[in-house]
Structure 1
Amino acid sequence: MAVPAAASVRDANRYRPPQVTGLVDLLDRQVRERPYARALVVTGERVQLSYRALASLADQVAARLGGAGLRRGDAVGLICANTAEFVVGLLGAARAGLVTAPLDPALPASQLSARLAALGARAVLLDASASGGGVAHAVPAWSVRVDVAAAGTAAVSLEPDVCEPHQLRGAAGGLSELDALVLFTAGTTDRAKMVPLTHANVAASLRNICVTYELGPEDATVAVMPFFHGHGLFAALLSSLASGGCVLLPERGRFSAGTFWDDMRAVNATWFTAVPAIHEILLDRSEREYPGPQAPPLKFVRSCSAPLNTATQRALERTFGAPLLSAYGMTESSHQATSEPLPQRGALRQGSVGRPTGVQVRVVDRDGRACPVGVEGEVWVQGPTVARGYLADGDASARTFVDGWLRTGDLGALDEDGYLSLTGRIKNLINRGGEKISPEHVEDVLAGCPGVADAAVFAVPDVVYGQRVGAAVVLREPDGLGREEILRYCRDHLAPFEIPDRLELVTALPYTAKGGLDRKAVQARYAP
């Protein structure tokens, strides 16, 4: 729908994009102009925490970290759920000039320790939801605790297990105080890549997100996606704080479908973002739980991190009474690269993930030449949000970052108006509700299980999650292990989302003439 020119001018005059240079000054404008406005809503009692209070807590953490011997440009890990401790730890570390690597608390301690070692982290910050014992042997661990009173006053404590941080060998030598974050891509500890993002990358990403959705102080959302992923970190948390909005952090820092709409009402949310699997869950439960007229009026709903089928999109729009906007991004582009626009800013295209947001997008053939309109090729991205490469992996950087362009590994096509449609993935990662799972990693773990001779991991189609994890396992002895014993081993060595949902015991696996696992044959034989 076209917008009259006069209305566009009025909207432009009213809307103020965030002016931040990175994580360091993320809160500054709000502290100056709206110090007592709510920034976070936290705890089961849904207590409001103002921008002034949040900035004060971050400054206290920064002072403590700076006084502990950490130097500007040093790397620290952050292992927290979606809690006030995560936000205070992240912003405090940034204000101390440190580079923060958020990590998934659900990963086994061995993987957490290995990632901290690969990074060269000098310390790690933990909240009560994280198990510090497993990583404390790798690096010094500080326990972060934020106590919020009913009146909105708050205090932070930072208790080190070891007072002196130490330097591990790792990739930290490639970092500087220009860097803000290091995010890990999907895969095993050996295969997961470390993506350094500068404060300039962060600032560009937040501006693009806020401008796309016209986020401002009147907006509020509920944190659905985990903050250790770019989706939850950039799209929900940081963009809201940069624009002066408010984020409700669910009790215990984890999404709960059962309390979601109560949380939305409590904060008078105007939007939320999630992966398709969560949208499916909310839609399935809507007949019982959606509050209808009592629900807060939504400006839009956002979907990202995995494809959302058109039927679900339309059903969500009918149920929630708001446009559902699909977006596309990746860790290496500081999350968002494209998005469908707000209805008043452009047309919505069925099956599209929208137009570029502050970056250039092109689709190329195998020779790197631009494909004509409507022709499928690999999606490449260039712009201020794109990372400079991977830490400590020159070969992968050379393959993925070419003359300033990010080769995404995704297939897609552009239409005549620059809208991007994704048609598939080049890589063979399993996408379980937005969680990218390396089949090779799960196979490596299965191969380490006593009694397992061989294993192949494949994607199982699923109406809720998009894909689930399947595994075909060859036993050393036909009457050896049972399925439950193998799954018990997996639960001890894999993150919860990596554990196979389907486990087949087979006598042999198909291999190609060259001796490699024939993944197409595995998929055809075991996935249906």
Structure 2
Amino acid sequence: MAVPAAASVRDANRYRPPEVSDLAGLLDRQVRERPYSRALVVTGERVPLSYRDLAALADDVAARLREAGLGRGDAVGLICANSAEFVVALLGAARAGLVTAPLDPALPPTQLACRLTALGARAVLLDASASGAGALPVPAWPLRVDVSRAGAAVVSLEPGACGAPRMTAASAELSDRDALVLFTAGTTDRAKMVPLSHANVAASVRNICATYELGPGDATVAVMPLFHGHGLFAALLSSLASGGCVLLPERGRFSAGTFWDDMRAVDATWFTAVPAIHEILLDRAEREYPGPRAPRLKFVRSCSAPLNTATQRALERTFGAPLLSAYGMTESSHQATSEPLPQRGALRQGSVGRPTGVAVRVVDRGGRTCPAGVEGEVWVQGPTVARGYLGDGDESARTFVDGWLHTGDLGTLDEDGYLSLTGRIKNLINRGGEKISPEHVEDILAGCPGVAEAAVFAVPDAVYGQRVGAAVVLREGDTVDREEILRYCHDHLAAFEVPDRVELVAALPYTAKGGLDRKAVQARYAP
């Protein structure tokens, strides 16, 4: 079943997304129409930075980068926390015509070096959060944004000589039509480089703004890291394009202890996070949620990993706002589907919503479209889909076929075009020929009274090939035991899906993106 991109187009009497054509011009309309409105709120003092001032800082950085000898289409790395430095560097590089590759500051210097070398970067911009700059293979240029309590801001960047053009398989494929290169490990050990054009970025931003009807009256807190698509597209770029405001938490990362104070400080109307963060906020809500003093939220968004239904409903009751699940990936410039705002459509239990500006198909192993309700691989096509991977023609040929992105995710589409995800093809556990989705078993386990979260993994077995194992984290203060958990599983799962082994653990490992680290789970609990 295919859902055409036109299904998400709104008629003339409804909300219209901002007119954005590229990353370089993301701020232009806001600078013209509301130059003194808040764009960012930064530092521990929560100082506002206006659209006019943010654009001026970005222009300053752009001029300095051009003076350093960088040319249009050249690649630069960006190693920053969620800070004013990240935003100014990103926009400044775009205005200089450069292609920016945001990198995780927590990566070891050796991995950062490998990625910069593979990309053919000519320099890297970094803030105080980056370490090991001396070990990087390209010139490292520290950048600092100083913001006074009055809101005045200056940028410090003194680039030296940039590296000579580094022709690699990746850099040879870049041009000034490209805006970003995002790294994704996916399901392989080697990080893949995803080039996103200005057209990809603009389409993604327009789709996200339209889905949630974001505008100048909206504000959010940047919970997710900006070096991944979730935080970059959904929280930062869509807010700035629509004239809203983004608070960047002190120390550049999510803090449950200050989250609600940050939300109140900007009178936030929404936020987006991975399920692990939603679970943390829910577990701490009795002590920390400000109740009537909390900002009135239009919606809460969840993406990047499956959110179980029990948690979704508990969050809605606690925060008094609809929780909208979305689905996306780096290769589709983040969002591909989302549940609609309540006034724009019905919410479907277990669904990640309808396509947003793209076409979605669910196909069988032969590439034939599956009937409604029948499981298959999810394919995505549209203006947000990348053209392939840099420097990896074989993987590109397998993943991007005739304009369709083969996601590797399993799911179903219903008669109304709502997508439900059932797992990852490569995650399936094969127990004596029975294919088991760990994501499905995890969702059931999360509904067991006393269970906070769970990770399901394959346990090698001489007879069945694989059996089902589960690592379970209990809610604080609960004393449910393994036998109770297994009884619940027997009542809610097919017999072959019931875990053969249940481990009670204090915490589960997560990736920098906020998703469950399945490789770490397998290595830690499967032996």
- The interval holding the TM-score normalised by the smaller chain is 0.7 to 0.9
User: In the alignment, which residue of structure 1 is the partner of 2:228?
Assistant: 229
Indicate how the Cα distance of structure 1 residues 288 and 111 shifts in structure 2: closer, same or farther if over 3 A, else same: same
Q: Are the equivalent residues in 2 in contact too, given 1:224–1:254 (CA < 8 A)?
A: yes
User: In the alignment, which residue of structure 2 is the partner of 1:191?
Assistant: 190
Inter-partner Cα distance in structure 2 for 1:205 and 1:346: 21
Cα offsets for 1:394-415 (capped at 9, x unmatched) = 0000000010000000000000
Inter-partner Cα distance in structure 2 for 1:231 and 1:464: 28
**Alignment of structure 1 residues 113-132 onto 2, 5 Å:** 113-132=113-132
Q: Are the equivalent residues in 2 in contact too, given 1:142–1:158 (CA < 8 A)?
A: yes
Inter-partner Cα distance in structure 1 for 2:140 and 2:267: 37
**Alignment of structure 1 residues 312-327 onto 2, 5 Å:** 312-327=311-326
Q: Are the equivalent residues in 2 in contact too, given 1:15–1:216 (CA < 8 A)?
A: no
Quick one: which amino acid aligns to residue 282 of structure 1? L
Indicate how the Cα distance of structure 1 residues 188 and 329 shifts in structure 2: closer, same or farther if over 3 A, else same: closer
Partner-residue secondary structure (3-state), 2:105 = coil
**Alignment of structure 1 residues 323-362 onto 2, 5 Å:** 323-362=322-361
Return 37-46 or 190-199, whichever deviates more. Answer: 190-199
Inter-partner Cα distance in structure 1 for 2:176 and 2:259: 38
**Alignment of structure 1 residues 163-182 onto 2, 5 Å:** 163-170=161-168, 171-182=170-181
Q: Are the equivalent residues in 2 in contact too, given 1:216–1:243 (CA < 8 A)?
A: yes
Inter-partner Cα distance in structure 2 for 1:108 and 1:285: 32
Cα offsets for 1:12-50 (capped at 9, x unmatched) = 657441101111100000000000000000000000000
User: In the alignment, which residue of structure 2 is the partner of 1:488?
Assistant: none
TM-score under structure 1 normalisation? 0.80
Indicate how the Cα distance of structure 1 residues 158 and 276 shifts in structure 2: closer, same or farther if over 3 A, else same: same
How many pairs does the alignment contain? Answer: 446
Q: Are the equivalent residues in 1 in contact too, given 2:64–2:158 (CA < 8 A)?
A: no
Partner-residue secondary structure (3-state), 1:427 = helix
Partner-residue secondary structure (3-state), 2:284 = helix
**Alignment of structure 1 residues 271-290 onto 2, 5 Å:** 271-290=270-289
Q: Are the equivalent residues in 2 in contact too, given 1:111–1:189 (CA < 8 A)?
A: no
User: In the alignment, which residue of structure 2 is the partner of 1:89?
Assistant: 89
Inter-partner Cα distance in structure 2 for 1:62 and 1:390: 27
Displacement of 1:173: 1.1
Quick one: which amino acid aligns to residue 176 of structure 1? S
Partner-residue secondary structure (3-state), 1:45 = coil
Q: Are the equivalent residues in 2 in contact too, given 1:135–1:141 (CA < 8 A)?
A: no
Displacement of 1:186: 1.7
Partner-residue secondary structure (3-state), 1:293 = helix
User: In the alignment, which residue of structure 1 is the partner of 2:396?
Assistant: 397
Inter-partner Cα distance in structure 2 for 1:252 and 1:382: 38
Partner-residue secondary structure (3-state), 1:374 = coil
Inter-partner Cα distance in structure 2 for 1:253 and 1:82: 4
Q: Are the equivalent residues in 2 in contact too, given 1:280–1:464 (CA < 8 A)?
A: no
Indicate how the Cα distance of structure 1 residues 369 and 188 shifts in structure 2: closer, same or farther if over 3 A, else same: closer
User: In the alignment, which residue of structure 1 is the partner of 2:140?
Assistant: 141
Inter-partner Cα distance in structure 1 for 2:519 and 2:22: 37
Indicate how the Cα distance of structure 1 residues 342 and 149 shifts in structure 2: closer, same or farther if over 3 A, else same: same
Indicate how the Cα distance of structure 1 residues 94 and 135 shifts in structure 2: closer, same or farther if over 3 A, else same: farther
Quick one: which amino acid aligns to residue 414 of structure 1? L
Displacement of 1:168: 2.8
Inter-partner Cα distance in structure 2 for 1:293 and 1:400: 48
Displacement of 1:500: 4.6
**Alignment of structure 1 residues 191-340 onto 2, 5 Å:** 191-340=190-339
For the aligned residue pairs, the C-alpha RMSD in angstroms reads 2.7
Q: Are the equivalent residues in 1 in contact too, given 2:336–2:380 (CA < 8 A)?
A: yes
Displacement of 1:426: 1.2
Which runs of no fewer than 5 residues in structure 2 stay unpaired? 1-9, 429-437, 443-454, 458-467, 476-515
Return 46-55 or 187-196, whichever deviates more. Answer: 187-196
**Alignment of structure 1 residues 45-84 onto 2, 5 Å:** 45-84=45-84
Partner-residue secondary structure (3-state), 1:93 = helix
Partner-residue secondary structure (3-state), 2:360 = strand
Displacement of 1:131: 1.1
Displacement of 1:461: 3.9
* Identity percentage of aligned residues: 81
Quick one: which amino acid aligns to residue 180 of structure 1? A
Cα offsets for 1:144-183 (capped at 9, x unmatched) = 10000011110001133x4233233421110000000000
Inter-partner Cα distance in structure 2 for 1:498 and 1:419: 27
Indicate how the Cα distance of structure 1 residues 459 and 216 shifts in structure 2: closer, same or farther if over 3 A, else same: farther
Return 423-432 or 150-159, whichever deviates more. Answer: 423-432
User: In the alignment, which residue of structure 2 is the partner of 1:151?
Assistant: 150
Displacement of 1:385: 0.2
Which runs of no fewer than 5 residues in structure 1 stay unpaired? 1-9, 440-457, 466-495, 505-521
Q: Are the equivalent residues in 1 in contact too, given 2:102–2:181 (CA < 8 A)?
A: yes
Return 61-70 or 14-23, whichever deviates more. Answer: 14-23
User: In the alignment, which residue of structure 1 is the partner of 2:5?
Assistant: none
Inter-partner Cα distance in structure 1 for 2:293 and 2:469: 40
Inter-partner Cα distance in structure 2 for 1:502 and 1:177: 41
**Alignment of structure 1 residues 369-380 onto 2, 5 Å:** 369-380=368-379
Inter-partner Cα distance in structure 2 for 1:464 and 1:76: 44
Inter-partner Cα distance in structure 2 for 1:146 and 1:14: 39
